Copies of this chain bind each other. A is one copy, B any other.
Amino acid sequence: MPRTEEQYKEIRNEKKKLITNVALKLFANEGYTRTSINQIAKEANISKGLLYNYFQSKEELLKHILNALGEEFSEFIDPNKDDVVTEQEAFNYIDITFEMLKNQRESLKYYYQLAFQPEVMEILSNPNVIREDIIKQEYLLLDFLAAKQPNVNPKIVVTNIISFMKGFSMMYVYSPETYTDEFLEEYKIYLKEFIAK
């Protein structure tokens, strides 16, 4: 008697998660092209064939990973979506962002390490893996912040914030040993004050 559909689904999800996890780490640390299907299979203790039972191709596996990461992040930033940003929402955004930095540290690290690989960038430029909602959210925030410093070229303000954020998370990701949780807290406060000025 065969297993129930439920049981099969369970098995599939379990294995898919396993493969995804192993592949993410390898893709991020060794590079997508340099990571072989063999390596992934060995690390996950499965056969090459099985991997292709779950993912049509190496690229499909990568896309799945990128989408999953996107999902993971988007759960963090999903406010009321009314297209308007109040000061409170701005602070919330900061909070949430730092929360994410803290709690999703590993995922974020992998995402960054992945996202800058040319092979991956090519795929990320494909619209069906872009997280439109996240990007929009960020633009609303930037408009809000620019409006708060009317005497400065808004482009400069926006650039400041984005540079801060980008550079900060970059460093956070690439030299995690110097970015402790306490420092994150201190930095968050500083950043809010700087914005509120």
* A interface residues with partner B (beta carbon < 8 Å): 2, 28-31, 33-34, 47, 113, 116-119, 152-153, 155-156, 159-160, 162-168, 170-171, 183, 186-187, 190
Contact = CB atoms under 8 A, between A and B. Distances in A.
Contacts of A190: 152, 156
Quick one: copies of this chain in the complex? 4
A170 B159 contact: no
A196 B163 CA distance: 19
Nearest to A180: B155
Contacts of A28: 118
25 contacts: A2-B47, A30-B118, A30-B119, A31-B33, A33-B33, A34-B118, A113-B116, A113-B118, A117-B118, A152-B190, A153-B186, A155-B183, A156-B187, A162-B167, A162-B171, A163-B163, A163-B167, A163-B168, A163-B171, A164-B164, A165-B167, A166-B167, A167-B167, A167-B170, A170-B170
Contacts of A47: 2
A160 B160 CA distance: 10
Contact of A163 (B33, B156, B164, B183): B164
Q: Is chain A's binding surface mostly helix, strand, loop or mixed?
A: helix
A111 to B, nearest CB: 13
Contact of A166 (B118, B152, B171): B171
A119 B31 contact: yes
Contacts of A163: 163-164, 166-168, 170-171
A108 to B, nearest CB: 15
A164 B153 CA distance: 17
